[in-house]
Structure formats: structure tokens, C-alpha cells
Structure 1
Amino acid sequence: MKNISTKYIAVFSFFILGLTGCDSALEVDLPSNQLSSETVYSSDATTEAAVNGIYQSMVTGFYYNQIHSVLGQTSDELILRSGLTNQYTTNELIETDGSMSSMWTELYKTIYNANNVIEGITKSTTLTPAKTKQWIAEAKFLRAYCFFYLTNLWGDVPLVLTTNIDVSALLPQSSQDVVYAQILKDLTEATQDLPTNYSNYDNERIRATKAASEALLARVNLYLGRWNEAANHATFVINQTGTYNMITGLSSTNSPFISDNSEAILQIPYFNVNYTYEGSSVFVNANTPTYLLRNGNSLFEADDARKINWTRNVTSTQGSLAGVAPTKYKNRFTDSPVERSTVLRLAELYLIRAEARVQSNNITGAQQDINVIRNRALLGNTTLTDSNQLLELIALERQREFFAENGHRWLDLKRTGKINETLSALNGKIWTATDALYPIPETAIRSNPFLKQNSGY
């Protein structure tokens, strides 16, 4: 698999390595041998490496593991194969939990790298003007992506828009409305200057494009209940039929998780490997996986191609069915198939537009979008016309399409107001309404006296 050139490793590793072992979740101590900002942003080549460094800061536990596994367990999606419970499956999270700390920190590390690029490029006078616009747009897109998860997981969070530690280390929390306003601002500005295709990257779908920003804008507007805007942004991507098309004939070598497939909008590249951590260690395609789907086979209709291709029946030592494991990623430490962690893909845009169309009373259009997803799964067209029933079907199709993937189910339950009634009814959950927000890590609160812990912790 062709990846970001290794000649850039030395440059952007400084950005990544400089963000480890921080005393504060927002404090960054860079190594003494780091290249100066003036040096990094003095040439196009080193600046390109710095931008690559933002993406490579996403090859960490939150982005390839916890975004799927922790969010899946706190929702009604994943349980442990062992049958044991933990703080995630019971929703008894504590502020000293290691995953909470690493998730929070890794998101802010990526934001730091994005801010570094924006500031460094803005100060430079030696870079190619056309390229600087694209690089800043990429940084703003990635910053918006991180803030989307921060505010949806923790609610009010510090809105860090600088690398100045004297400013960022003691920032108070901004309201979710303010954070969303910044997300929309970043994405709107990014959309203007992002490339329209992947030709600059040998057609590898590993860097943000205009379609990626439009896709995230569609999601954000859906979450905000801005139906027309959500539908319009989704339509922009769906209409790029020369680049994006739904896969037909799902298989282990023909899936939305194969590198550079026609449904992929943005994928995370790894260095010198063809497998993903999802397939090699998080959701292992074996008889003894770590996680099972809580709803098992009952989640799917008969003959659903997603059940057949994206799950595996797990048998006990006695030969009985022990559960159903997610196996969307197939590659475990081998050269084939070449897979990448998938951040954004086309199916989401159809389901976003379907939901927005129902909310706007465009029933026929919503049915058409739902049927695109159902037909790809080898299921028949929906005949539902009632708005509430269609919304329930869309929620179910989202659950089937995005199980164990990027926390969609956890976030869907929250944004649709279904989380309390859904999770309080489950065995093994010790649920209270305040569990809908994660606890802000104790390390962050200890280092910043202006942070206030979320209610219930």
C-alpha cells in the first residue's frame, strides 16, 4: 500500500512526539531538538510534512479503537465476549478512567497540531500561496472533526484555537453552542479551499477534500436540526458520481473499508502496513473476539448482506452460538485485502439526507435514499409512508450500517433523545440521565482550575 512518503517522517514526528507525556491535557512541552516553526514553515516540502503530521496524530487509540469500542459499549451496541461487565458496559464511568484521559488528550493533540499548522503557515512569507490555502483548510477541517467529538462526548469543552500555552492551559469551557459555531465556521471556510479530488495524492483517499468537509457539514447540520442545510450538503457529495458510488456485491475484498473504494470519502493511512488496528487487534476476525453485538442476529433482517459480510457467529466450546461479533475489517497482519480506518463514507450521506427529507416532509425522496442503503444490503424497498415509522426505520438502518463504527450509535441515541429510554431498559446498565456525558478527565481538571466537572461525577 502506498502511504505518505517516509521522507516526511522526521519532520512531522516532531509534532507528534512533542505532544506526549503532557502534565496537562492542554499543555504541550516540545522537545529541545524540535525543528523551529520558522524552519518547518519555510518551504512547501516541510509544510506538507507538517500537514501530514496532523493526520498521523490520528493513528492513535481513540481514532482506531476507543471511538468504536468505548462508545459502542456505553451505548446498546457492544458487550464483552467474556460475559463480564466493566465501567463502559454498565455506564459507571469515573473521572480517573484511563480511556477518558487518553480520548480527551488525543483529540486535543490533533487540535494542537492543526493550530500549529494554521499559525505557522499564516506567519510564513515563503510558501506557495495556492498551497497555503489548501493546507490551512485541511487543518481547519481536522480541527472541526475533533471538536465535533469533544463536544458530543463531553458537552461544554475548552475551545482551543491557539498553540499559546499561557492561553490554552487555563481556558474555561465554552458552551456547546459556541463550539458548534466554531465547527461550522471552520468547515465553511475549509470547504472553499479544499481540493475537489484526490489527484494530488495519487488518488489515495487519505487527505481531506471538499467532499469530506461537505460530508461533515451534513452531519453537523443534522445534529443541529437544520434539515435543509443537512440535505443540501449531503446532496453535494452524493452528486459527485464520478468519484463516489455505493458498492455492489459486498464481500471481504469489496467493502467500504477497502482502501480507496468508491464509497470512501476520507480514510486514515498507516505507515508500511496494509491492515488496520480495527482488523488486527480491536475487532479480530476470530472465534474468540473481544466484543459481541448486544442485539446479535436479531438486529438484521434475513439475508441482510451486512450481517453476512460484516459479522461472524461465535460458538462456545460446547458448539452452541455464543454471540455475533463485528468483523467489518478483515485484514489481520497480512498484505491483503488492503484496508484503512474509514472516517467518512458515502452511506452516511444517504441516511443523513433521508432523515432530513422526512423532517421536511419529502417522503418520496426519503424512501429513495433509504432504499439505496437497503438495496446495497440486498433488502427490498421500504413501503412505509408514515413519518414516524420512516424515522424509526432510518434509525434502525443507521444501527445496522454503522455498528461498531465511529460511535454513531451512541451519538444517535443522544441527538434523537432516545438515550434514556433505550439504555435504562437494558440488563447490566446502571443508567442515569447524567451518563449521557462522559466525565472530564481528572488530570485535565487538576491542571486547569477553570474546568467544571460534568454533573453526576
Structure 2
Amino acid sequence: MRFKYRDTALYQCFFILTFRRCNLLYLTILIGCLTACTDFVEIDLPKNQLSGESIFEDALETESAIHGVYYQMRTSGLVSGDDLNVAMGVYTDELDFYKLDQGEALENYQNHTVESNDLIVTNLWNSAYTQIYTVNAIIAGVESSTGLTTEDKGKFTGEALFVRSYLHLLLVELFGDIPYITGIDYVDNKDVTRMPRALVYNYIIADLNLAVDLLSDEDMSGERVRPYAAVAEAVLARAYLYTQQWGLAEAMAGRVITKFGALEPDLNKVFLKEASGTIWQFKPNADGKNTNEGTRFIFTTGSPFDIAMSSLLFDAFEPGDLRQSSWLKNVSNTANTQTWYHAFKYKEHSNTDSSVEYSVQLRLAEQYLIRAESRAHLGNTSGAQADINAVRNRAGLNNTTAITLNELLDAILQERRVELFTEQGHRWFDLKRMGKAAEVLGPIKPNWKDTHILLPIPDTELTLNPNLLPQNDGY
């Protein structure tokens, strides 16, 4: 029987774990291998699975499994600081791609010629579902464990549920109707069908609410690198916003804001590892390393290696907006005849004596803007203005003049644009959900089509599982 690489890798891991007790390093390496193989191989379906093995009788080894998931999330796929941030930045009006004559994959995002065999699309889908399969195995193993304490079971399950829901949220926004995978049985998973977006969000919200109940209110890691209750609440606020449940979105964002308080006042400290407004971040795998984002975005001499900030984004900042000077940096050619800009939220693009920046996944400013948008829809004009102003005033700008609903929504979209650029695809998700994608991108993307509102399902997935048909419109 022939299996797709992600299933093959996962079940090879299950098979090995059935016959040997893994130490911490060994398990981490195994989980790291889940996305390493890109070929089809032939194996027999294993008789046993990870969920029933001794690995989950020990809290330290279970914790190693969780760490392995974060390692994969940090290094590849949807939340790694590369494909989603860069590809969707080029897809929108945030980034420009400068190697159009070299056949780079990003050219298709610049030109809006993405096809269903696109390598980035395939990686986004495969890496996410590999990570989802892994946390599902952890959930199953923890549930059946007789060696873990009730407290440990709750903590590990809460973390895994959070990861599962967060990855599905990103997938459904990119691809539309998708399968929501909750199990590890190959027979079931190989024939899954796509669920309507509304049903996917029902599962996302249910998992997040359960994660909130299971996770500790305290950041046990001390560096906000492991999910705790506020992390799940922050994503829950986003899920409510995306599903237009304004009252719930306002309440949940408000809960997070109450826990954290005011925004980090110094823009140059927002992306330092100890920044007060950081809700959740990824720690580098070695002290002295910094972020993938810094390495990817920063260039120091000559023309851009491949990407630079779009002039449209640079020009979008109001006069006096400190984010333009703090979070963008200019680089000129040798003759000083041409200037480009790169994202400079992260200031380090190489190793330092000790790590100074972690990769920020969730931060407080988004919660203020979620609450502002929810309040605007609920008719709470003064409340919406107050939240917008919290973000604007931190950037050195005067209070908003927006009053009507449409004015407030335009003001919020503007603040999200200049506050959250090159972070987790926010610009694309915002244009799409607020019905602005065609209006903004149509004039600047010659190949724009309204069907580009979704990415295609990878061809390889449709071949392996025809139940995922039909393909998204336009591909």
C-alpha cells in the first residue's frame, strides 16, 4: 500500500514508538522527521499507534513531544515566519518580489498566477496537517495514559487542542472549506471530506474554549513560549471576530486586554523577547539565535536579495507615524540612486551573544483592534475610538476622527495595515474578510481574479483523496 509522505512519516513514527521507549532527544528527532521526507515510500500500516505507548506514561517525555511540535511550527509551514508571512505579503500589497526572471516560486504570488501544483501551497497544507496529526496523537496518548497526573493531562491536552485549533483557523482562512482532523486513524483520515467553513469554525471555537478551561492562567514557561489560557483566549477573540460574533469577540479581547493592560510604550521594544505586550512567542532552538523573520526580511547592502517592502505600504503611513521610522529601514545602492525598505520590526538578522528577539505570534495590539472592530459593529462608537486611539497614540498619532461605522471600519483596517504588516498573513486575511481584496488588489495585480480569494487545494491531495473535490473555483 502506498501512502503520502506525511502519513508515511507519522506512521513510521508510530511504528517505531511501539517497539522502543524513546528518550527526550529521540522523540524530538522523530517528530522533526515528520516533514523531512518528500518522497513516496511503501510501508505496511503499523498495528499500533503512538497514543497507546509508554511515551505518555512520563510527563517529561510527553513534554518533549509537545516541544517537538513547537519546533516544527517554528521551523516550517504556516507559522514559521517564512511561507505565510512572505508569500501572502507578496500576494497582497505589503512586499515586492525582485527576482521575476529567475522562476522563483514567489513570482506566482507577485503576479497572482498561483496554480494547484504550487510548492508553497503544498507546503502550507502538508506541514499544517502533519503538525495536526502529531498533536492528535498526543491528545490520544495523554487521554489513555495511566502514568500522568490529572493536572499534567489537562496541561498537555490544553496545549495540543490550542495548536490544533490555531492551525485549522489559518487553514480555513487560506483554503476555505477543509477537513477538521481530530483523530489519528489512517483509515478514517485518508478519506476525509471538506467541511463547510461554518462547521470548521464550530470545531475551532469548541477546541479553543476547552483549551482555555484546561490551560493555566499563569505563564508557566516564564517567557510566554508555551500556550496558557490568555493565548487560547487571544485566538478565540480572533475566531469570534472572523465569524462576526461581535459581542463574544469584544468580551474575549477585553478579557485578554485586562490581563495585560496597556500596550508596550516603546515601539523599539515591541519585538524584544521581554516585551510586555507579547502574548505568545517562539523561542529559538539555541541561545544566541534570533528569529526567522529577522533573517528573512533584513538586507543590509545593495539591492534586495529577493523581497523588500512595497512602496504602497511605505506610503500608507500617516505623517508622523513612528511605526514607519521604527519598523521600516531604508537601504540604498552603492551609487545612492535607489532606495529600498525592509521590515525592521525585528532588528537582528544574525546570531548575538544571547538571544534578544523571539518570534512573536500573538501580541496585545491585535486584541485592541479586535475589540475596536467589535465595538464599532455593536454601535459603541466611543469604545471603538478609545481602542483605535490606544494603538494610534502609541505610534505618535492624534486621536481618530472616525465616527460612522464605515469610517471606523476604514480606520481599523488602516491601523491593522500599518500595525500588523508582515505578521502571520494579517493583511491578506483582513482584505479577504472585510470584502476589500478586489478593491485593493485588482488595480495593482494585473492577473487578479475574484476566485483568488482562496488558495487552491494541492493537486497531490486531490489525487490521493478524491473526497476533497471539488477544487476551489478558478484553479
Same fold (TM over 0.5): yes
Q: Which residue matches 1:4?
A: none
Match of 1:57 among 64, 72, 77: 72
Deviation readout 1:303-336 (Å, 9 max, x if unpaired): 2121111101232444134332212111122226
Q: Which residue matches 1:11?
A: 27
Q: Which residue matches 1:154?
A: 175
- Write the letter of the residue equivalent to 1:361: G
Say whether residues 1:246 and 2:267 are aligned partners: no
Three-state SS of the structure 2 residue aligned to 1:262 is: coil
Distance 1:233 1:20 in 2: 38
Deviation readout 1:99-150 (Å, 9 max, x if unpaired): 1111111111110111011000111111111110111011000100000011
**TM-score normalized by structure 2?**
0.88
Higher relative contact order (CA 8 A, sep 6+): 1
Three-state SS of the structure 1 residue aligned to 2:348 is: coil
- Write the letter of the residue equivalent to 2:350: F
Q: Which residue matches 1:111?
A: 132
Contact 2:136 2:183 in 1 (8 A): yes
| Worse-superposed segment, 135-144 or 332-341 | 332-341
| Worse-superposed segment, 7-16 or 162-171 | 7-16
Match of 2:324 among 297, 300, 307: 307
Question: Structure 2: 5+ residue runs without aligned partners?
Answer: 1-22
Deviation readout 1:343-402 (Å, 9 max, x if unpaired): 110000000000111111111111110111011111111232222111101100000001
How far off is 1:35 after superposition? Answer: 7.8
Match of 1:394 among 399, 403, 412: 412
Q: Which residue matches 1:216?
A: 235
Contact 2:51 2:137 in 1 (8 A): no
- Aligned-residue CA RMSD in angstroms? 2.3
Distance 1:383 1:413 in 2: 22
Distance 2:358 2:44 in 1: 31
Contact 1:306 1:400 in 2 (8 A): yes
Contact 2:95 2:308 in 1 (8 A): yes
Q: Which residue matches 2:275?
A: 261
The percentage of counterpart residues that share the same residue type is: 35
Match of 1:424 among 437, 442, 445: 442
- Write the letter of the residue equivalent to 2:392: R
Higher helix proportion (structure 1 or 2): 2
Say whether residues 1:42 and 2:63 are aligned partners: no
Question: Structure 1: 5+ residue runs without aligned partners?
Answer: 1-6
Q: Which residue matches 1:348?
A: 366
Taking structure 1 as reference, are residues 9 and 64 closer, same or farther at Cα in structure 2, changes over 3 Å only? farther
Contact 1:89 1:429 in 2 (8 A): no
**TM-score normalized by structure 1?**
0.91
Taking structure 1 as reference, are residues 42 and 417 closer, same or farther at Cα in structure 2, changes over 3 Å only? same
Q: Which residue matches 1:438?
A: 455
Taking structure 1 as reference, are residues 396 and 207 closer, same or farther at Cα in structure 2, changes over 3 Å only? same
Q: Which residue matches 2:211?
A: 190
Aligned length, in residue pairs: 440
Taking structure 1 as reference, are residues 332 and 184 closer, same or farther at Cα in structure 2, changes over 3 Å only? same
Contact 1:18 1:28 in 2 (8 A): no
Taking structure 1 as reference, are residues 372 and 8 closer, same or farther at Cα in structure 2, changes over 3 Å only? farther
Q: Which residue matches 2:309?
A: 293
Taking structure 1 as reference, are residues 270 and 30 closer, same or farther at Cα in structure 2, changes over 3 Å only? farther
Distance 1:409 1:423 in 2: 11
Deviation readout 1:395-448 (Å, 9 max, x if unpaired): 00000001111100000011001111211111x430111111101111111211
Match of 1:170 among 191, 215, 218: 191
Contact 2:51 2:140 in 1 (8 A): no
Distance 1:296 1:313 in 2: 13
Taking structure 1 as reference, are residues 31 and 78 closer, same or farther at Cα in structure 2, changes over 3 Å only? farther
Contact 1:18 1:31 in 2 (8 A): no
Taking structure 1 as reference, are residues 324 and 36 closer, same or farther at Cα in structure 2, changes over 3 Å only? same
Taking structure 1 as reference, are residues 322 and 249 closer, same or farther at Cα in structure 2, changes over 3 Å only? same
Contact 1:222 1:356 in 2 (8 A): yes
Distance 1:103 1:370 in 2: 32
Taking structure 1 as reference, are residues 449 and 210 closer, same or farther at Cα in structure 2, changes over 3 Å only? same
Distance 2:218 2:427 in 1: 30
Taking structure 1 as reference, are residues 142 and 394 closer, same or farther at Cα in structure 2, changes over 3 Å only? same
Three-state SS of the structure 2 residue aligned to 1:76 is: coil
Contact 1:22 1:29 in 2 (8 A): no
Three-state SS of the structure 1 residue aligned to 2:142 is: helix
Within 5 Å, which residues of 2 pair with 1:118-129? 118-129=139-150
Taking structure 1 as reference, are residues 64 and 106 closer, same or farther at Cα in structure 2, changes over 3 Å only? same
Deviation readout 1:239-264 (Å, 9 max, x if unpaired): 014xx54111222xx12x21132111
Taking structure 1 as reference, are residues 237 and 30 closer, same or farther at Cα in structure 2, changes over 3 Å only? farther
How far off is 1:19 after superposition? Answer: 4.5
